[in-house]
Structure 1
Amino acid sequence: MTDLPNDPDGWAAFFARFETVVFVANSEAADVPALRRQHGAGTLFVFFNKVYKVLSAPFEGESLLVARSSGAGANIVYRREVETVCGFFRAPGFHGVLNLKARPFERLSEGREFGDRPVGHIDLCEDFAGFYPPDYAPTTGFAMAVWLSEACPGKRIVLAGFSAERSERWKLFHDHDWTFEQIVLRLMARSGRIEMIGGRTTAPLDAIARRFPDIAPQEVALVATEVLATRQEGTNRAVDRLYSIVKPLTGLDGLIRRLKPKTRKQKLAETGR
């Protein structure tokens, strides 16, 4: 068994071998069978963490699994999901697991913890320090897309299902800045650095600009910003009123949370194991 790279340069060389790299988000907006039909030989399909959200049968194409780490190590490791998740991939197309960290407190897991399959690691902390909002952590797909677009300029990168919209089945976690990520990704798409398919990839402002070609796009954006700011202020006032109603319950909620036993993830993060 040959392990995968453990540094950004090595991973850049790995991805450079493929004509197209398709990042498949764990979203209902990602249609994997359609992606397989659209992208043939020379395409690497990159999946993330809980792939059972988008795969219902083994994936036979060229593939790579990116496993995100937390303070307790790789999520699929401490959750004991390695075999379940990796069971969706088959040789010879499956290249192995890339264990990724993007915040200093996240801890990479050892290769042996992923079982008998190729494993590599990548640390992207420095790539997002001073760029990504400090109170949040970049999502795995966003981190990989931004890094790869800079590490392999000109590489065809396709993002499938990166809608940042909550579905009936899957929720969005608030430890990521979804608004920031969508702004960056859409700017990258407009500049041709990446392609985005699945979900709402065409902004309503584009339709407005096309309808009124005599109005400069900058004016459209300025007016839209003014409207959004007004609506946001109205939302803030409503939230303040709602918070004043539920505030007495926050003390009780805090007490209950302190009484709850620590989760396995919290214990592993504290011990560093």
Structure 2
Amino acid sequence: MNRLPSDPDGWAGFFSRHRTVVLVANSEAANVEALRESFGDGVLFVFFNKVYKVLKAPFDGPSLLVARSSIAGANIVHRREVETVCGYFEGPGFSGILNLKALAAERFSEARDFGERSVGHLDLAADFADFYPPDYAPTTGFALALWLSERCGGLRIVLAGFSAERSERWKLFHDHDWTFEQIVLRLMARSGRIEMRGGREATPLDRIAARFPEVPPAEVALVAAEVLAARQEGTNRSVDRLYSIVRPLAGLDGLLRRLKPKTRKEKLAESGR
């Protein structure tokens, strides 16, 4: 297995060797079997972190696993899931592991922490420092998709299952700004920088614009924003009334959370490591 790079230029060269790169989200909207039937040779499938959410059996095609870091190192390392996750990629088409960070506070894991596998690192913290909304962290797939579109010109980038929707089995974490990411991804898709498969059906605004072709799309968007703003204001008033009712419960919840033992990640954050 070839050694993987640990610098942006090296990774740009790695991805550019492929005709198409398919990023597979850990979502029920991603159908891996259907994706493999849709694409021919020269396609690299990129998976993320807890791949058992989307893979039911080992994947034997050209593949790369992206392991996201946190302040405690790569998540699959400190959760002791390396062997479980990598067990889905034992074939010759497996390129190895890309350990990625997108925030300055996140810390890489050593290559040896991933066992006898080819490992490379990619630091994208500077790429999102002045772009992504503060107090949130970019999702791994979003960070890589945006970076690929900007660094690998001519590469066909396909996003599969990037729906940003909670399912019955898997939840969404509030650590990420899902609305911001969907806006950026849909703009990228409309401009042709990426393609989106699964989880991206025509929106009501798309259907309205198609029904009234004589109305400029910008006018449709402006009217929609006006309506949404009015409805949001009504929702805010309802939330304020509701919060006045549940405020005592919120205080009790805060007390119970303070009594709960801190996780290793929380202790590392407080220590500033």
TM (norm. structure 2) is 0.97
What is aligned with 1:257? Answer: 257
- Give the distance between the partners of 1:230 and 1:187, measured in 2 at CA: 24
- Give the distance between the partners of 1:243 and 1:133, measured in 2 at CA: 25
- Give the distance between the partners of 1:83 and 1:208, measured in 2 at CA: 49
- Give the distance between the partners of 1:201 and 1:107, measured in 2 at CA: 37
What is aligned with 1:199? Answer: 199
What is aligned with 1:231? Answer: 231
Matched position secondary structure for 1:89 = coil
- Give the distance between the partners of 1:270 and 1:6, measured in 2 at CA: 28
Instruction: Give the letter aligned to residue 239 of structure 1.
Output: V
Asked if the contact 1:71/1:106 (under 8 Å) is kept, the reply is yes
What is aligned with 1:157? Answer: 157
Matched position secondary structure for 2:69 = strand
Matched position secondary structure for 1:225 = helix
Q: Is it true that 1:212 corresponds to 2:182 in the alignment?
A: no
Matched position secondary structure for 2:226 = helix
- Give the distance between the partners of 2:168 and 2:134, measured in 1 at CA: 29
Q: Is it true that 1:32 corresponds to 2:32 in the alignment?
A: yes
Task: Map Cα deviations across residues 234-259 of structure 1 (whole Å, 9 max, x no partner).
Answer: 11111111111111122221221111
Task: Map Cα deviations across residues 179-236 of structure 1 (whole Å, 9 max, x no partner).
Answer: 1000000000000000001013422211111111111111111111111111111111
- Give the distance between the partners of 1:148 and 1:135, measured in 2 at CA: 24
- The 10-residue stretch of structure 1 (216-225 or 189-198) with the greater mean CA deviation from structure 2: 216-225
Instruction: Give the letter aligned to residue 169 of structure 1.
Output: R
What is aligned with 2:110? Answer: 110
Using the TM superposition, give the Cα deviation of residue 268 of structure 1 relative to its aligned residue in structure 2, in angstroms: 4.9
Using the TM superposition, give the Cα deviation of residue 264 of structure 1 relative to its aligned residue in structure 2, in angstroms: 3.1
Q: Is it true that 1:8 corresponds to 2:8 in the alignment?
A: yes
Task: Map Cα deviations across residues 153-197 of structure 1 (whole Å, 9 max, x no partner).
Answer: 121000000000111111111110001000000000000000001
Instruction: Give the letter aligned to residue 8 of structure 1.
Output: P
Structure 1 residues 271 and 94, CA gap change in structure 2 (3 angstroms): farther
Using the TM superposition, give the Cα deviation of residue 263 of structure 1 relative to its aligned residue in structure 2, in angstroms: 1.6
- Give the distance between the partners of 1:46 and 1:121, measured in 2 at CA: 15
Structure 1 residues 165 and 112, CA gap change in structure 2 (3 angstroms): same
What is aligned with 1:78? Answer: 78
TM (norm. structure 1) is 0.97
- Give the ranges of 4+ consecutive aligned residues of structure 1 lying more than 3 Å apart after TM superposition: 267-273
- Give the distance between the partners of 1:29 and 1:229, measured in 2 at CA: 30
Asked if the contact 1:108/1:121 (under 8 Å) is kept, the reply is yes
- Give the distance between the partners of 2:142 and 2:173, measured in 1 at CA: 14
Query: Percentage identity across aligned positions?
Result: 78
Asked if the contact 1:25/1:141 (under 8 Å) is kept, the reply is yes
Asked if the contact 1:71/1:269 (under 8 Å) is kept, the reply is yes
What is aligned with 2:141? Answer: 141
Instruction: Give the letter aligned to residue 264 of structure 2.
Output: R
Q: State how 1:50-65 maps to structure 2 within 5 Å.
A: 50-65=50-65
Matched position secondary structure for 1:121 = strand
- Give the distance between the partners of 1:61 and 1:78, measured in 2 at CA: 27
Instruction: Give the letter aligned to residue 198 of structure 2.
Output: G
- Give the distance between the partners of 1:140 and 1:265, measured in 2 at CA: 18
Matched position secondary structure for 2:132 = coil
- Give the distance between the partners of 2:201 and 2:16, measured in 1 at CA: 26
- Give the distance between the partners of 1:267 and 1:166, measured in 2 at CA: 29
Instruction: Give the letter aligned to residue 34 of structure 2.
Output: A
The CA RMSD over aligned residues, in Å, is 1.4
- Give the distance between the partners of 1:263 and 1:134, measured in 2 at CA: 23
